[in-house]
């Protein structure tokens, strides 16, 4: 009997080696190599003959000019959820592979079940579940109160069997829940291993590309929040979405980390109710439930998420520290950037926080990734340190440099207009972002240095 061939693959970057070693020389990560069994040449050739090519159907590749490509053959179509369509870039693209990840209980299966039941009323849709029985999925659909008349269901974990069934039904949308429990018969390793996840995803993605089927893959995440499985999995698919939210919280945010057909870092907001996930049309309104009495350290900032502005509240608490090393805690913001901004505040603002504990939090569980929150963060820290509340109708945004300058941010006028719609009447923004024509009822103060912003309070 011939000895089975094996290789060692890095879980982070997907580089392979003939023997095990402690460090991956491609990405310099330690202890990330995992042994996989290689399929035989006979099995690989058989699988390749079945799905010849990758990015499209046809036995012979045809060369043509880019301008001659007909875009009308693959038009986008709506999923039935405006927030999901926004994150995807305007709708579903035929032949695209979409990966949705998130912590257990975030609502991945609920969101996809609602979407598939809506799509099934207009087109052929197939939902494949490998973790639950069909009765369990039916109970969830009954609890959600969705119309499940035309949705085709399949309980299967074999990728070959799934593709065979899909060839017969010819669905326009296919959901596989989840990729970690799927297995390819030719790969001699357990489901969920690096080789199985990689081969199963490649097999399903190849099928979606050649048949023009929209493919949804559900993926698990690790303890640190990253997608479980090999890093090469994220390179294979077209769109990677992350559904985030605390299990005891009401709201869920859907963010795109990779999208070949739309904007990256686009954000969709949903509310978790007894009837499932409900779209939030105006996310700024849910993050601005402030108290009637102004409190020190509370301030509203305007951040840009994908293609729209979003108003969120940032809170800061500065208190005298009784420890040798004062604490710096940031929830929803970058911890390292908080430490840097406090140093800028000391150097160019004359405010010493070296003996103070500083806690900052973005209300609503939103994670702010852009630098336009710098100025609002510092002004909220100053407000808490001085124990002086800021006006309720004040909004702030702007990037703070290491030399104390206030740098402009993109889409400044759109941010100010969004704040004016929600009743804000005063704004402290970078001088370069001040609109040329004044807005009715809005007083905009342009600042170029941190000292000017502190004087404007």
The single residue listed with the structure tokens 């949903």 is 270
Cα of 372 vs its chain's centroid, Å: 19
Question: Quick one: pLDDT at residue 32?
Answer: 82
How far is 181 from 173, CA to CA, in rounded Å? Answer: 20
Residue 44: predicted pLDDT: 47
pLDDT (0 to 100) of residue 284: 82
User: What is the pLDDT at residue 451?
Assistant: 93
- The rounded distance, in Å, linking the Cα atoms of 311 and 109 is 29
Task: Report the distance separating Cα 445 and Cα 375, nearest Å.
Answer: 13
Quick one: pLDDT at residue 437? Answer: 86
What does each of the 457 residues of the chain score in pLDDT, given as a tens digit? 455 677 888 877 778 888 889 999 988 889 888 777 665 544 444 444 454 555 555 445 678 898 888 777 668 899 999 999 999 999 999 999 999 998 888 899 999 999 999 999 999 999 999 989 999 999 999 999 999 899 999 999 999 999 999 999 999 999 999 899 999 987 777 788 777 888 899 999 999 999 999 999 999 887 666 666 667 788 889 999 999 887 667 888 898 989 998 888 788 989 988 889 999 888 887 777 776 778 999 999 999 988 889 999 999 999 999 888 999 999 999 999 999 999 999 999 999 999 999 999 998 778 898 899 999 999 999 999 999 999 999 999 999 999 999 999 999 999 999 999 989 999 999 999 999 888 888 999 999 999 999 998 7
pLDDT at residue 126 in the model: 97
Q: What phi-psi label fits residue 325: left (phi over 0), alpha (psi between -120 and 50 degrees) or beta?
A: beta
Helix axes 335-349, 374-386, angle to 10 degrees: 70
- Residue 327 sits at the vertex; the CA angle it makes with 322 and 329, to the nearest 5 degrees, is 145
Distance (Å, whole) CA 353 – CA 326: 9
What whole-number distance in Å separates Cα of residue 441 and Cα of residue 425?
Answer: 6
Longest dimension (CA), the chain: 84
Residue 223 confidence (pLDDT): 67
pLDDT at 53: 53
pTM attached to this predicted model: 0.77
Phi then psi for 202, rounded to 5 degrees?
-65, -40
């Amino acid at each position: 009997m011939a000895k089975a061939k094996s290789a060692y693959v890095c879980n982070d970057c997907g580089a392979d080696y003939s023997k095990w070693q402690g460090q991956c020389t491609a990405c310099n990560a330690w202890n990330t190599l995992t042994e996989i069994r290689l399929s035989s040449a006979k099995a690989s050739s058989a699988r390749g003959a079945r799905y010849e090519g990758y990015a499209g159907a046809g036995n012979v590749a045809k060369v043509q000019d880019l301008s001659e490509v007909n875009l009308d053959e693959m038009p986008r179509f709506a999923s039935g959820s405006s927030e999901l369509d926004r994150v995807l870039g305007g709708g579903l693209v035929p032949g695209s592979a979409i990966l949705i990840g998130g912590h257990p209980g975030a609502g991945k299966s609920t969101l996809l079940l609602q979407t598939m039941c809506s799509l099934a009323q207009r087109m052929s849709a197939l939902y494949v579940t490998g973790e639950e029985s069909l009765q369990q999925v039916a109970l969830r659909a009954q609890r959600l109160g969705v119309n499940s008349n035309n949705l085709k269901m399949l309980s299967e974990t074999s990728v070959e069997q799934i593709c065979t069934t899909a060839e017969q039904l010819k669905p326009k949308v296919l959901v596989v829940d989840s990729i970690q429990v799927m297995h390819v018969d030719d790969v001699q390793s357990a489901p969920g291993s690096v080789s199985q996840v990689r081969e199963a995803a490649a097999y399903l993605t190849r099928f979606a590309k050649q048949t023009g089927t929209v493919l949804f893959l559900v993926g698990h995440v690790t303890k640190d929040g990253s997608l479980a499985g090999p890093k090469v999995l994220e390179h294979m698919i077209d769109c990677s979405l992350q559904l985030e939210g605390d299990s005891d919280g009401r709201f869920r945010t859907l963010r795109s980390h990779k999208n070949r057909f739309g904007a990256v870092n686009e954000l969709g907001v949903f509310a978790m109710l007894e009837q499932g996930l409900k779209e939030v049309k105006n996310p700024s309104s849910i993050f601005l439930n402030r108290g009637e009495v102004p409190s020190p350290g509370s301030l509203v900032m305007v951040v840009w998420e994908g293609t729209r502005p979003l108003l969120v509240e940032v809170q800061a608490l500065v208190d005298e520290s009784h420890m040798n090393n004062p604490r710096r805690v940031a929830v929803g913001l970058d911890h390292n950037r908080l430490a840097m901004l406090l140093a800028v505040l000391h150097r160019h603002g004359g405010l010493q926080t070296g003996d103070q504990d500083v806690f900052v939090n973005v209300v609503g569980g939103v994670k702010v990734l852009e630098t336009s929150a710098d100025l609002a963060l510092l002004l909220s820290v100053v407000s808490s340190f001085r124990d002086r509340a800021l006006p309720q109708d004040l909004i702030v945004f702007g990037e703070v440099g290491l030399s104390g300058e206030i740098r402009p941010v993109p889409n400044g006028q759109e941010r100010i207009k969004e704040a004016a719609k929600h009743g804000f009447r005063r704004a402290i923004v970078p001088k370069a972002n001040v609109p040329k024509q004044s807005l009715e009822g809005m007083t905009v103060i342009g600042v170029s240095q941190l000292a000017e912003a502190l004087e404007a309070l």
